[in-house]
Structure formats: C-alpha cells, structure tokens
C-alpha cells in the first residue's frame, strides 16, 4: 500500500489563493487544481505549514483547502458535489476483456 498526499477543496465556494500562496503558485508555475499541482511537494508543504487545524483558508475566507491521504493501491479520482471536492475510490469488474469494457461495482 502506498499513500499519496493530495490537495482538495471540500468547500462549496470558489477558492482564491491568499497572497503568499499566489506567490508560490506563480514561482512554481503549475496550476494548483491540476493533478500535478494537487500532488506538488512544494504546494503540499506550504498548505501543511500555513494551515490552522489542517484547513488553509482562501483569501476571502469563504473557501478552504485540505490535504487528504490517498491509498494509491486502489483506483481513485477527485469528484465533486455542488463544487465541494472529495476523494472517491473506484471499484469495477471487467465484463468483456476483449473490449476492456467494465462495470462499476456498487451501481
């Protein structure tokens, strides 16, 4: 089992980086909400060091970021409901190996 730290936005409002985070984003040049940005060690470290109780508030305080640990031994994705993001594990079974057609388990 391997864990990966990932940045997500579990709040419903749009996220606006504060000035310090924006400066880092400009310096690194990787979009925050890309997979590369969400797992970027510099961004992760910044969020960990500039969070209160694990929550990093946006510039306007209406939105926030958190870090979640993802078990990369399982397929996963970042999904959202009403603009709030969460990590979802994806379970499926192969129905037709010739066409690589799958059926989602739990549906």
In the predicted model, what is the mean pLDDT of residues 71-91?
Answer: 92
The string of pLDDT tens digits covering residues 20-50 is 999 999 999 999 999 999 999 999 999 999 9
Q: pTM for this one? A: 0.86
Query: What local confidence, expressed as pLDDT, does residue 82 receive?
Result: 94
The string of pLDDT tens digits covering residues 91-105 is 888 899 898 898 888
The answer to whether 24 and 47 are in contact (CB under 8 A) is no
The token pair at 2 is: 């391997």
Say how far apart CA 87 and CA 70 lie, in whole Å: 8
Say how far apart CA 68 and CA 77 lie, in whole Å: 12
- pLDDT band at residue 1, thresholds of 50, 70 and 90? low
Q: Over the chain, what is the mean pLDDT?
A: 93
The answer to whether 8 and 50 are in contact (CB under 8 A) is no
Query: What local confidence, expressed as pLDDT, does residue 100 receive?
Result: 85
Q: Is the pLDDT of residue 60 over 80?
A: yes
């Amino acid at each position: 089992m391997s864990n990966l730290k990932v940045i997500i936005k579990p709040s419903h409002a749009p996220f606006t980086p504060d000035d310090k985070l924006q400066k880092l984003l400009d310096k690194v040049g990787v979009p925050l909400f890309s997979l590369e940005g969400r797992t970027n060690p510099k961004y992760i470290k910044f969020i960990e060091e500039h969070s209160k109780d694990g929550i990093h508030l946006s510039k306007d305080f209406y939105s926030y970021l958190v870090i979640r640990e993802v078990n990369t031994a399982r397929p996963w994705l970042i999904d959202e409901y009403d603009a709030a993001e969460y990590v979802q594990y994806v379970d499926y079974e192969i129905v037709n190996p010739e066409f690589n057609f799958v059926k989602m388990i739990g549906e």
